[in-house]
Amino acid sequence: MSRWLITVGVILVLLGVLWPWLSKLGLGRLPGDIVIERDNFRFYFPLTTSIVVSILLSILFWFLFRK
């Protein structure tokens, strides 16, 4: 369990450090992300980005924890 938590923590730190470069790739502004803008209101729900990140993390964890 502690190995898993350390791995997740390291991945989150790496994503935080690499976020400026990842945002230049368009991550977070993909087609399918929901953006609603009104006069004094902005709602953003990164649906497609969440799916892409989930798939990438699933593949990464599959490689890390396969036996």
The rounded average pLDDT for each run of 10 residues, N- to C-terminus, in the chain (67 residues) is 86 85 75 91 89 90 83
User: Which pLDDT value is given to residue 39?
Assistant: 92
Look at residue 36 in the predicted model and tell me its pLDDT. Answer: 92
In percent, the amount of the chain with pLDDT more than 70 equals 96
User: What's the confidence (pLDDT) of residue 49?
Assistant: 85
Domain count, the chain: 1
Please choose, from the candidates 66, 67, 64, the residue with its C-alpha nearest in 3D space to the C-alpha of residue 11.
64
Give the range of the structural domain holding residue 9, as residue numbers without chain letter: 2-65
| CA distances (Å), origin 20, targets 29, 33, 55, 56, 57 | 13, 19, 21, 18, 19
Integer Cα distance of 55 and 61 in angstroms:
10
pLDDT, residue 67, reads: 67
Which residues 6+ apart lie within 8 Å of 38 measured at CB?
none
Mean pLDDT of the chain: 86
